Amino acid sequence: MFTLPDGLPPSRFLSRDPVPVWVSDEFPQDIERLWPRLLSEQRTRGLVPLLCWPAAMGRPLSPDHADAVRLEEVLAADFIEYRRRRLPFWTDPTPAPVPAGVEPWPHDPGPPFEQWPGLTPAMPVTSASPTPEQAASSLLAGLIETCEFELDECRLVLVPAQRSSDALACVGWSAEAPLPLLCALLRSWEDRFGAQVVAMFGSELHVSVARPLVEAEHASRLALEHVLSTADNIVDDPPTPFPEYATDLVGRTSWSFWWD
């Protein structure tokens, strides 16, 4: 077990190999007060806060599995296979058949790359940048306004870890996401964009972004990283042309992913 901060709601410990986690009994009604404090103490206490549906907890994964992912190599290989499968659709502008009375889906030309272009350059920290903790608190406030039902089903979880990506691995996740690759991506996004995992609603993942893209020239590379996460909502549901998805990433301070 580990030492807990003061002022937490009723709770229990869950045994999760390799580490136990603390889980609140209910969704904390004072979460908007509690959340920023837990984030501010995260580095000193070594406890990462997450909001999670208990039923979404799957088999824990050691962070060593994310360590073993050679991210550039894996994404380069995955892009070759992704492009092979999707190229016929990108090069055929014929609208896909849809039911009567339904607007045809817009043609998706796909990413503008024939080879893996490399990871998106990091966004620098500036005096105007919010801290990752501030960005995570801002996303929580937005989720409270727009996802009240989903949040009510969540519990506050404290995980002994240094990164939110490692906390996600330790909690485990029942979604169909490739967890080692996803955790490696989240680590890299944390380093490059100040990204933090905030909430897991079933198969949905909500991530705050402290240093979003400001230059459109890098948007396609970041959008491709999102596509290669294998999330089903990226450009596929609803059908979104790749360039449109990429453009929308400029200035965007939160990212959402879900898997069937």
Which uninterrupted H or E stretch holds 52? strand 47-52
Q: How confident is the model at residue 192 (pLDDT cuts 50, 70, 90)?
A: very high
Instruction: Count how many domains the chain has.
Output: 1
Residue 260's pLDDT is: 82
Report yes or no on 77 lying in a domain: no
Report yes or no on 196 lying in a domain: yes
Tell which residue, 250, 238, 260, has the closest CA to residue 98: 238
Report yes or no on 61 lying in a domain: yes
Q: How confident is the model at residue 93 (pLDDT cuts 50, 70, 90)?
A: confident
| pTM tops 0.85, yes or no | yes
Q: What pLDDT digit, counting tens, does each position of 224-240 carry? A: 999 999 999 999 988 89
Q: What pLDDT digit, counting tens, does each position of 166-190 carry? A: 999 988 888 889 999 999 999 999 9
Residue 25 has a CB neighbour count (10 Å cut-off) of 11
Per DSSP, 216 falls in state G
Residue 195 has a CB neighbour count (10 Å cut-off) of 26
Average pLDDT value for the chain? 92
Report yes or no on 250 lying in a domain: yes
β-pair type (195-201, 21-24): unpaired
CA dihedral (223, 224, 229, 234) positive or negative = positive
Q: What pLDDT digit, counting tens, does each position of 110-165 carry? A: 999 999 999 999 999 988 889 999 999 999 999 999 988 888 899 999 999 989 99
Range of the domain at 22: 12-68+116-258
Q: What pLDDT digit, counting tens, does each position of 43-91 carry? A: 899 999 999 998 888 888 888 888 899 999 999 999 999 999 999 999 9
